[in-house]
Structure 1
Amino acid sequence: MDAIAARAGVTKRTLYYHFPSKDDLIAAYLTARDEPTLAHYAAWLDQTKGDLSEQLLGMFQRLARVTRSARWKGCGFLRAAAELAGTPGHPALKIGSAHKKKFEAWLEGCIAAEGLSEPALRARQVMIVIDGAVAQVLIHRDPAYALAAGQVAAALIAKKA
């Protein structure tokens, strides 16, 4: 908390006034990241022309570009889940789960709008590919994992059956 207070330019007392515990601060951070994260992915999808398969490929290409930045630190929701894996019921885990479910529901809506079969299953599969890509890029610091994941996601959606 000392480092966070110093970085924020406030006293520790002020920080604790707004966030009574480190857990509250983590929960607030993740809550604040929910909508902006979804908005980034939605914008990346919308900015790519073509059918949903091509749009997903474009979305992953944008993800690959973002991961090239030295400032990119992966997905805060995944990092929090890994850090707090031994504390079931932690507020941050609940917020992360809700975010991932919301993201998956958004994907399901995109897939259903295309008239594809099994939109819930396909959304879950794409969600797994996204999170896997983020984890692999974070581990290897190689955006090629995001590009490869984009090919997998596009193939999952390209199947009309």
Structure 2
Amino acid sequence: MVETDTREKIVAAANRLFYREGIRAVSVDAVAAEAGITKKSLYYHFKSKDDLVAAYLDYRDQPSLGAFKKCFDTSKGPLADRIAGLFENLALVAADPKWKGCGFLRTSVELANLPGHPAIVAGITHKKRLEAWLQSIFADAGLENANALARQIRLLIDGCFAVVMLHRDPGYMREAGEAARCLVDAALAKRPG
């Protein structure tokens, strides 16, 4: 369908621009130009910039979760090493000069005074999916405190994203990975049987 293709082209253009420059720095005109369409056509597909920003985050949701899963899956060793490996892989990605951090967190900072904004809702949904995925890993390992551990690891992930954005030093991700390793080792030591 032409309409679907146009919508996808708009969201892909918004993804490139919003991630690279931030949502407030990018106008609807810039997104339309990047997509090679008119502003009127953009507004045919999105009733507002707010809806476009939410679509941008929805567009990033599954690829981002897939990247986390790939980082975990390519890590070797026991569970604690694989969780630490996830952070090591994040550090490698963050070393790229084009890396701009977590698009969900960056958007939430730009919209901090608008808690009901559709993009904030999209960000919350994404972060809950990440947490649920972590919880499933820990539950599959037989850890009784899988929910709490998933929250702790998510806090480390989001925290290291913020700190690396500030300092531009991926070493913080490796340190967060070591903290995650300690948390997982401690949880494994408490596992019954």
Is 2:43 the partner of 1:19?
no
Is 2:113 the partner of 1:71?
no
Specify the alignment match of 1:158 in structure 2. 185
Runs of at least 5 residues in structure 1 that lack an aligned partner in the other structure = none
Specify the alignment match of 1:112 in structure 2. 139
**Residue 145 of structure 1 aligns to which amino acid in structure 2?**
Y
Specify the alignment match of 1:42 in structure 2. 69
Q: 145-154 vs 14-23, which deviates more?
A: 14-23
Specify the alignment match of 1:148 in structure 2. 175
What is the aligned counterpart of 1:85 among 103, 112, 119? 112
Is 2:93 the partner of 1:60?
no
- CA shift, 1:92, in A, is 0.8
Q: 7-16 vs 99-108, which deviates more?
A: 7-16
Query: Equivalents in 1 of 2:80, 2:32: separation in Å?
Result: 44
Deviating runs (4+, > 3 A) in structure 1?
none
- CA shift, 1:9, in A, is 2.0
- CA shift, 1:59, in A, is 0.8
Query: Equivalents in 2 of 1:15, 1:141: separation in Å?
Result: 35
What is the aligned counterpart of 2:57 among 13, 30, 33? 30
Runs of at least 5 residues in structure 2 that lack an aligned partner in the other structure = 1-27
Q: Alpha carbon RMSD of aligned pairs, Å?
A: 1.0
Specify the alignment match of 1:98 in structure 2. 125
Q: Given the two structures, how large is their TM-score scaled by the length of structure 2?
A: 0.80
Query: Equivalents in 2 of 1:126, 1:4: separation in Å?
Result: 35
Query: Equivalents in 1 of 2:100, 2:152: separation in Å?
Result: 23
Query: Equivalents in 1 of 2:149, 2:82: separation in Å?
Result: 15
* Equivalent residue pairs, number: 161
Q: Given the two structures, how large is their TM-score scaled by the length of structure 1?
A: 0.96
- CA shift, 1:62, in A, is 0.7
**Residue 62 of structure 2 aligns to which amino acid in structure 1?**
E
Query: Equivalents in 1 of 2:168, 2:43: separation in Å?
Result: 35
Q: 23-32 vs 10-19, which deviates more?
A: 10-19
Larger radius of gyration: 2
For residues 118-141 of structure 1, the C-alpha deviation after alignment (integer angstroms, 9 at most, x for no partner) is 110000000000000111111111
